[in-house]
Amino acid sequence: MSILDITTMTWSTLIQSQSPLTHILYTATLLPNGLIVYIGGESGSSLNLNFTDIAQIQIFDTKSYTWSTKV
């Protein structure tokens, strides 16, 4: 995951072992509490993409740099 620091306009790379599969064509919304909610799209590998269940929501916490899933 790449992170842009908007105060210094520099990019950094966050390496995580718990990040979800690659996602494309999703919608992402930043909430006031620092959570980014990812809904929809497709996930999987480049050779085997599947539609993501709209009831499965990926959440990234920008304060703790952790992922969680809500179903």
Domain ranges of the chain: 20-70
Angstrom distance (rounded) from CA 56 to CA 40:
8
Task: Kindly report the pTM of this predicted structure.
Answer: 0.74
Query: If you search the block for the tokens 């992170």, which residue do you land on?
Result: 3
Angstrom distance (rounded) from CA 5 to CA 29:
18
Per-residue pLDDT reduced to its tens digit, 4-41: 888 999 999 887 767 776 778 899 999 999 999 999 98
Angstrom distance (rounded) from CA 13 to CA 53:
28
- Selection from 19, 35, 18, 36 nearest residue 27 by Cα: 36
- CB–CB of 26/40 below 8 Å? yes
